[in-house]
Amino acid sequence: MPEISRVSYKPIYLQICDFIREKIDSGEIVIGSRVWSESDIMEKFGVSRNTARKAIETLQNEGIVSRIQGKGSFVSQPKVDYGLQSLMSFSEEINEKKLKPGSKVICFTREHPEPFHAANLRIPEDHWVFKLERIRYADAYPIAYQVTFIPENLCPNLLDYDFMERSLYEVFEKQYNHVLSWQKTIIKPVVADNYIAKILKISPQTPLLYTESITYLAGGTPIESNKNLYLSERYQFTVLSHRFDPTRKVEE
């Protein structure tokens, strides 16, 4: 039987969670495989069903395991951490998690922007933009839907690039010598409509994270206006906040 302490300050169900996390982190329990059932935990650790249930529910709430009715609990795909304090491309985010990024281009066209994106990009509605609509993958699993608008005057001939294979930010920086500086992002909870459910292979009404983003160059010029949808079970947003101390001098 795995060792747990019955005199520790830490509740037994949390010790069980720690033990299961260690097994997952070490690769002994792999992603997608079945985790011990409540009965298994009761037998292995000599605990009550209530304790076993709390351990599984805790791991489920943390997004570490997913419960499938009638089949059991399984190790979830790791969440992609979208750091709002750092500007990274989708490919960079996925690579940082040691997953393989992928893209499917739904459409890539040259057109006039709708008013929302024209305002974000600070251009007239009769100017030309490139519209790039993609499904984004992590280890061949669809986790995001993105629609991006880029002003043609900042990236002429952008249609020449294959964004099934290339990172948009890489092209901005290496091919056009743009210096990406910062991004403004708004986040809202939504649910999947029938169109999004079909392309992300999920059920309608599945919870999603919706974002609207504007990316700016070093000089303050907007280069990208986005509307994105992320699977909330696969994404977490990290915000780094600092408290301003009014008693502290600025030069300190």
Residue 100 falls within a domain, yes or no?
yes
Of the two residues 70 and 138, the one the predictor is more confident about is 138
Same domain, 100 and 54: no
Same domain, 106 and 155: yes
The pLDDT of residue 75 is 81
Residue 46 falls within a domain, yes or no?
yes
Residue 6 falls within a domain, yes or no?
no
Name the percent of the chain lying above pLDDT 70.
Answer: 84
Single residue among 51, 75, 99 that ends a domain in this structure: 75
Residue 247 falls within a domain, yes or no?
no
Q: What is the CATH number of the domain that holds 56?
A: 1.10.10.10
Same domain, 150 and 232: yes
A 10 A CB-CB count for 207 gives: 12
The pLDDT of residue 1 is 52
Q: Helix, strand, coil: what percent of the chain each, to 5?
A: 25, 35, 40
Strand, coil or helix: what is 113?
coil
Give the DSSP H or E segment for 123: none
In tens, the pLDDT along 104-130 reads: 999 999 999 999 999 999 999 999 999
Give the pLDDT mean for 148-166.
95
Same domain, 132 and 182: yes
Same domain, 93 and 66: no
Same domain, 226 and 167: yes
Residue 5 falls within a domain, yes or no?
no
Q: Phi/psi zone of residue 72: left (φ > 0), alpha (ψ -120 to 50 degrees), beta?
A: left
Same domain, 71 and 94: no
Crossing angle, helix 38-45 and helix 12-26, to 10 degrees?
100
The pLDDT of residue 86 is 56
Same domain, 58 and 131: no
Are 58 and 17 a contacting pair, CB within 8 Å?
yes
Give the pLDDT mean for 188-192.
90
pTM, two decimal places: 0.63
Q: What is the CATH number of the domain that holds 151?
A: 3.40.1410.10
Same domain, 42 and 118: no
Single residue among 56, 75, 94 that ends a domain in this structure: 75
Single residue among 29, 49, 75 that ends a domain in this structure: 75
Reported as a pLDDT band with limits 50, 70 and 90, residue 252 is very low
Same domain, 69 and 148: no
For residue 2, pLDDT beyond 80: no
Enclosing domain of residue 45: 12-75
For residue 37, pLDDT beyond 90: no
Same domain, 88 and 54: no
In sequence order, the β-bridge partners of residue 130 are: 110, 150
How many domains in the chain?
2
DSSP sequence for 50-97:
HHHHHHHHHHHHTTSEEEETTTEEEEPPPPEEEETTS---HHHHHHHT
For residue 251, pLDDT beyond 70: no
Residue 246 falls within a domain, yes or no?
no
In the chain, at which residue ranges do the beta strands (DSSP E only) sit?
Answer: 65-68, 72-75, 80-83, 101-111, 129-138, 141-151, 180-191, 207-217, 222-231, 235-238
Residue 195 falls within a domain, yes or no?
yes
Of the two residues 76 and 167, the one the predictor is more confident about is 167
Are 147 and 228 a contacting pair, CB within 8 Å?
yes
Residue 36 falls within a domain, yes or no?
yes
Of the two residues 245 and 42, the one the predictor is more confident about is 42
Same domain, 66 and 84: no
